[in-house]
A and B are shown apart, each in its own frame.
Chain A
């Protein structure tokens, strides 16, 4: 698939991502961890042929931009490689140079030109109350366009949709109890509008950049990854945090942290929602492997469909 834009001379036709680096991305950046979890020969073969830049449109609804920011934290491949080598990110509000009507028209032109062949990334929830008025994303010819309008028009044209972040996947914080905006996740929105484009949920508040990049690459190379009941790639969300927690031995010995700053002990008594949460943070860690929530404080279950209401209060035990 050729990018319709004129690419600079330095633009390689094929990705510079090596098989080894990609494996690190999908299996965890910490060396040697979880390699066996994901070893798909077809995928590796495809990667050796190289990736071609695939058109992606990234749109934002009711979100905080945290999912765009987490993408910038991608280590391997780096965000510069993602932008210049892996995908053709035709629009992303936080980074795109174009603005106003030029930006809006560009989005719709790309969608038409690559109909059925581009991926639509949705960040943030879609508020359906009051005819979508709670989220206006732009205007064309002096007519305002809501997030509802935009998803409704673009999603059927896309080859696939990635619901990035818990807001896009399930509604998340904007959909929490007390909201008046009708904040809705992508799958529920599609059901209500009879849209059948395949959806991959990549929840997390925010998601780990590897989950986003790994899912995109999987999508491009071997199609939709295997999903769990909540529409998430099992590759990243297949295992329980508590069952794999480095502090599980402490739990088994009933050695419990008594305070949030207690350097040792299982965190369940101070509110950890690891037992209710499925994601590979325990081995992947965050921000280039610097740290993770349970080591620092507690897991608040941000990747789960019930977040935040089902996980709240965050600092009281779940049992």
Chain B
């Protein structure tokens, strides 16, 4: 094909073509993907995080309680998750046990934002890979051949739901604010519980809004995800990845460690209990000092080196038992294996999530797991609403310890989240965060293993290198 521009050369020619996508939009943060395509499929992939702020360094020397506010600013889509992880780490370090009402209030704050985040992700971040928006900015420009396969009527329904979902996700934030003060970035989650003792009026206002959200989730969001499986059925077989999963568990149901969404590790087809000591973070291909590679977060160091040769990302590569693992709704739902929604049972003819089998490990499978999880969390929110007691204490005051360590493990909507704090002289001596996107969007590790999104990109069809729509579909299925 001499004389052709590389961009227009057919991928089928067998020659490898590199396609950079930078920025990957409709995500949180700065992400680049570079895929190599041969024979119409991705044969190699590099995913790069392009931004560093240095929370770990900024936190050193501060009052430990400030971490719950500062770490929320890691992510404006899921600040409640960082607040939760940080508060759990501090609860651990301070040695406080929550009141039932404090635990329930935290669940109601985090739960409302789970609903918000999943709805936002599906409609406003991911759906435009499957649906044509209005022909106006910011919905254009778009790929000339974007492989949108919906008939016009269904496309119109989806666009209508896109707009309705803007309202619904806003209502979810109102629910967060009723108990958390405001959103994004809540005041309400602190070490020792939550700051606002719910009144009957606040709970009623929450319940009234929740009713609309639940109806939207069950009647629109979940059915639309299953509807996509018709025209996009091939995407249930695309984007497998490593098939290893981690979940730390989230939404405590008591003070004994039982959670709504279960903790669990799934490696090479086997289930294991979570052991935090098995986590190590590698940095050979990350812009961090090589001397800090292979450390557990409790001994972690975060020392950037943005000019390190060979590195290509500001994201470290965490590994569980030496292997890359995917986090997120699929991992949590796999560990929990709940009964599917009525829509899910009818559409798929199976009962529990694991009955879906290998199709879970795919672009649409991850969307199905997320939608099913949204329905499950909505049911639980209803239960917590009935358990919350107006006027009952939500907060247990505690003094800052002279020196202590604390570990907070929870789940952000997008995956496993860990905060570690080391307190010395009542100040933060070390703080480490291993966030959800770090599990999914990481680069190769010291052993050369690809990160989960990189691996899942392998084999993804790119029949038209000028319009690599499936690359974005795969990346967004992880909600990075």
Contact = CB atoms under 8 A, between A and B. Distances in A.
B216 to A, nearest CB: 15
A205 B185 contact: yes
Contact of A6 (B58, B135, B177, B395): B135
Contacts of A88: 136-137
Interface in A44-85: 60-70, 72-73, 75, 78-80, 83-84
Interface of B: 20-30, 32, 48, 50-55, 57-63, 65-66, 69-70, 73-77, 79, 120, 124-125, 128, 133-143, 163, 166-167, 169-170, 173-174, 176-188, 190, 192-197, 205, 304, 306-307, 314, 393-395, 397, 472
A315 B188 contact: no
Contacts of B472: 99
Contacts of B124: 72, 94-95
A115 interface: no
Interface string A86-106: 001111111111111111101
Given A7-B136, A97-B138, A173 B65 contact: no
A91 B54 contact: no
Nearest to B53: A174
A286 interface: yes
Contacts of B205: 290
A33 interface: no
13 contacts: A67-B76, A70-B76, A78-B167, A96-B26, A134-B52, A173-B53, A180-B54, A180-B304, A260-B395, A263-B197, A290-B174, A295-B181, A308-B66
A60 B140 CA distance: 19
Interface residues of A: mostly helix, strand, loop or mixed? loop
Contacts of A69: 76-77, 120, 184
B24, B138, B174: most-surrounded residue (chain A CB, <10 A):
B138
Contacts of B27: 94
A239 interface: no
A194 interface: no
Sort A-B residue pairs by CB-CB distance and give the 7 closest, nearest first.
A66-B76, A296-B181, A313-B63, A286-B182, A136-B50, A261-B395, A287-B177
A261 B393 contact: yes
Interface residues of A, number: 89
Contacts of A83: 138
B170 A312 contact: no
B21, B51, B57, B196: most-surrounded residue (chain A CB, <10 A):
B51
A292 B181 contact: yes
A307 B394 CA distance: 28
Given A64-B73, A96-B26, A137-B50, A5 B196 contact: no
